[in-house]
Amino acid sequence: ILNVEQSPQSLHVQEGDSTNFTCSFPSSNFYALHWYRWETAKSPEALFVMTLNGDEKKKGRISATLNTKEGYSYLYIKGSQPEDSATYLCAPGNYGQNFVFGPGTRLSVLP
């Protein structure tokens, strides 16, 4: 089973701040990495699916980059809003293995 780490564990920012967090994973046999946004009492929702080294994906104020050689992905949120408060989960998958979710980064955006 993949060892997936996310940092920081939790984060508090002020409305309007930009922020970023990290997902680290073993780089060998990498296949794809997913980012999900999870609000408590709801189900995780997909943000990005990334496959290629150097990939950069963007959705509104949220973007993500991928480095498969060194085994990390960054998620960036520009100009954080209170509605961005959620737990952000990454889930890498290797050949022959399934999605393994990291523990998540819990983001709180204070108005």
CB burial string 1-11: b at 16+ within 10 A, e below = ebebebeeeeb
3 binds another protein (CB under 8 A): no
**Options 57, 63, 65, 99; binder of another protein; rule CB under 8 A:** 99
13 binds another protein (CB under 8 A): no
The two tokens of residue 58 are: 């963007």
The answer to whether 64 and 54 have CB atoms below 8 angstroms apart is no
45 binds another protein (CB under 8 A): yes
- Return the range that interacts with another protein (CB under 8 A); candidates 11-19, 63-71, 72-80, 84-92: 84-92
The answer to whether 76 and 105 have CB atoms below 8 angstroms apart is no
- Which CB atom, from 43 or from 83, has the smaller least distance to another protein? 43
- Which CB atom, from 9 or from 18, has the smaller least distance to another protein? 9
DSSP 96: T
* H or E element that contains 63: strand 62-67
User: Which residues contribute to the site for another protein (CB under 8 A)?
Assistant: 1, 31-32, 34, 36, 42-46, 49, 51, 87, 89, 91, 93, 97-104
